[in-house]
Amino acid sequence: MRLERHVGGLSKERKLTYLREAGWVPEGKQWRGPGVEAEAFPLSRALHHQLTADLCAALGGRGWKINGYSMRGYAQLVDPKDASTCALPAALRRQARRDGCPVRELTYALFLGAVLKRQ
């Protein structure tokens, strides 16, 4: 699932602003995250990592726990209802079903919450 699709199809300017507000720094054509030993990534990968972090943090407020990340940056979460693990897209689908709303609506609400929290 392309997470960017669910947050309103960000324009390039909005992507850059979003990353800068989250502490990312441009290094030529790459972006370095706010972590001390963070690796530099192309814009699309940096955006993916930041969206993953924001959405996982927002789901954490609903009881989900992060079980870990794959080498490619994909999050595994633990469901608060039955302690099963699933990837972030599946967690978003499960939570949307519980909330009775479309996945796109939930994802966008979580994204906006993360953006507003930083401002």
Phi first, then psi: what are they for 23, rounded to 5°? 100, 5
Residue 4, pLDDT score: 57
Residue 1, pLDDT score: 47
The count of domains in the chain is 1
**pLDDT over 80 (residue 112):** yes
Rounded CA-CA distance 41/116 in Å is 24
Residue 119, pLDDT score: 75
Residue 11, pLDDT score: 82
Residue 9, pLDDT score: 67
Rounded CA-CA distance 45/71 in Å is 13
Rounded CA-CA distance 111/52 in Å is 10
Neighbour count for residue 48 (Cβ, 10 Å): 18
Domain region containing 75:
3-118
Report pLDDT digits (tens) over 46-91: 998 899 999 999 999 999 999 998 777 789 999 999 999 999 999 9
pTM for the model stands at 0.86
Report pLDDT digits (tens) over 5-44: 556 567 888 889 999 999 999 999 999 998 767 789 999 8
